[in-house]
Amino acid sequence: MLITITDIFEHMFNLTLISIQILIIFITLYYSSLAIIGLHRKPENKGFAPSNKFAIVIAAHNEEPVIEPLIDNIKRLDYPRNLFDIYVVADNCTDRTAHLATKAGAHVYKRFNQDKRGKGYALEWMFKKLFSLNHNYDAVVIFDADNLVKTNFLMEMNNKLCEGEKIIQGYIDSKNPYDTWVTNTFSIAFWLMNRLIQLSRYNLGISNTLAGTGMCISYEVLKKLGWGAHSLTEDLEFTMKGLAYGIKTSWAHDAVVYDEKPLTFMQSCRQRKRWAQGQIDVASRYLIILLRKGLKEKKWMYVDAALHLFQPFFIMIATFFLLIQTMPFMQPYYVNLFIDFIPGLLWQVISGTITVFPIIALYLDKVPWKAYWGLILYPIFMYSWIIIIFAGFMHRNRKEWDHTVHTRSISYNEMLAEEKVSTNST
């Protein structure tokens, strides 16, 4: 029997698509299972007395409208005032950020460097300044200048440090969830990530991921590892760097930081494109390292981290398969596992889970009912990730930092009042 080049091509094409389908099935089932685990909260030890001393670092670039409310908020946290100091690195600022931060009571350091621009460089520069002060800090907490912070934040981080955790991520809430449909859907994305991914990983005892703000890092670990995270997603980079050294990131579900979400769809696209570029960059350096580490040490924590880094590539691969499925003339040349081998009932259950779980997650975290309206447009926000990830992949070698302008000047008490009105109105 003569085997032609066409036969070989068809065989390889079939094997490739079968492999892609197995990958899609595995990752879909894995993250669906992970979401189920996030519906439960395991008990936590909250009985520790305040003992850890914190250096709170705020990276700020032209943050004149928002810097004072944050510093005022931090000064009023429910934690002994002698156990934390506030530092602001005014990075390449051309406005009154440094003046207002000083006036508000922070220790301000001005940095000017047009060659090494971006939050990662600013933080590393500030950490070196901290180390030179030779103060007796136990941990560094990092906030963005546009944030507001729940008053128990440092107490929650103190509890985690007393339990022996070294790197901790707090709960990312929204400062402006009802400003526009974009801030609403963006907020929903973070709420779901908090509950169905971050809390799930914490429940399993595997590593969480840092999220750019609301981060707490042991002073000892920061000095030992060094920061060294200069990518467009410096938070993800440091997470994976810590894991490469065997140090996982933990989760503090009750340590809440309120982040300002972008107002327009295009602003959100630019921000997410930067995240996609950064994740692809970090994946190129850490994905294989962590996968090998996981297989060698037989620890799922590292494999899960590798899967997290693989997500942009997974979305591109899944999109390719969906395009193939829209071409009827290709169907005779590959085995469709979704149709031929997997019961339709299973996919109906998974589809139902994907539909219902967001509602359950929002309910469990007591998100005001007004926010649920964003679920109607949420699919638009999520499917836009496909185009954004392809754009991020095409521009993966670009390192230019795209600063997000923050304008939502609101105090912590004003935000709580708005939240109360939203809750009562529903």
Q: State the Cα–Cα distance between residues 346 and 298, nearest whole angstrom.
A: 30
pLDDT of residue 267: 93
Q: Which amino acid would we find at residue 22?
A: I
- Residue 188: both structure tokens together: 């929903």
At residue 251, what are phi and psi to the nearest 5 degrees?
-130, 135
Strand partners, 178: none
Q: How many CB atoms within 10 Å of residue 46?
A: 10
- HSE-up of residue 132 (Cα within 13 Å, Cβ side): 6
Secondary structure (H, E, C), 77-122 = CCCCHHHEEEEEEEECCCCCHHHHHHHHCCEEEEECCCCCCCHHHH
- Residue 9: both structure tokens together: 């091509």
Query: First CA to last CA across the chain, in angstroms?
Result: 73
The answer to whether 242 and 390 are in contact (CB under 8 A) is: no
Provide the pairing of β-strand 54-60 with 84-91: parallel
Summarised one tens digit per residue, pLDDT across range 367-399 is 999 999 999 999 999 999 999 999 999 998 887
Q: Which amino acid would we find at residue 269?
A: C
Closest CA to 146 of 43, 76, 58: 58
Angle at 375 between CA 370 and CA 376, to 5 degrees: 105
Q: State the Cα–Cα distance between residues 394 and 391, nearest whole angstrom.
A: 5
59: part of which helix (H) or strand (E)? Answer: strand 54-60
Q: State the Cα–Cα distance between residues 81 and 105, nearest whole angstrom.
A: 12
- Identify the three-state secondary structure at position 56: strand
Beta strands (DSSP E) in 241-373 are: 249-259
Q: What domains appear along the chain, each with residue ranges and CATH number? A: 10-42+55-426 (3.90.550.10)
pLDDT of residue 159: 97
pLDDT of residue 313: 97
Tell me the pLDDT of the chain (426 aa) as tens digits.
566 887 788 889 889 999 999 999 899 889 989 999 999 999 888 889 999 999 999 999 999 999 999 999 999 999 999 999 999 999 999 999 999 999 999 999 999 998 888 899 999 999 999 999 989 999 999 999 999 999 999 999 999 999 999 999 999 999 999 999 999 999 999 999 999 999 999 999 999 999 999 999 999 999 999 999 999 999 999 999 999 999 999 999 999 999 999 999 999 999 999 999 999 999 999 999 999 999 999 999 999 999 999 999 999 999 999 999 888 888 888 888 877 777 767 777 777 777 888 999 999 999 999 999 999 999 999 999 999 999 999 998 887 766 666 666 777 777 677 666 666 655
pLDDT of residue 2: 60
Give every CB contact of residue 225 below 8 A, 6+ residues apart in sequence.
241, 242, 245, 247
Q: Which amino acid would we find at residue 122?
A: A
Summarised one tens digit per residue, pLDDT across range 68-119 is 999 999 999 999 999 999 999 999 999 999 999 999 999 999 999 988 888 9
| b/e map 198-234, b = 16+ CB within 10 Å | bbbbbbeebbbbbbbbbbbbbbebbeebebebbbbbb
Q: What is the DSSP letter of 403?
A: P
Summarised one tens digit per residue, pLDDT across range 135-150 is 999 999 999 999 999 9
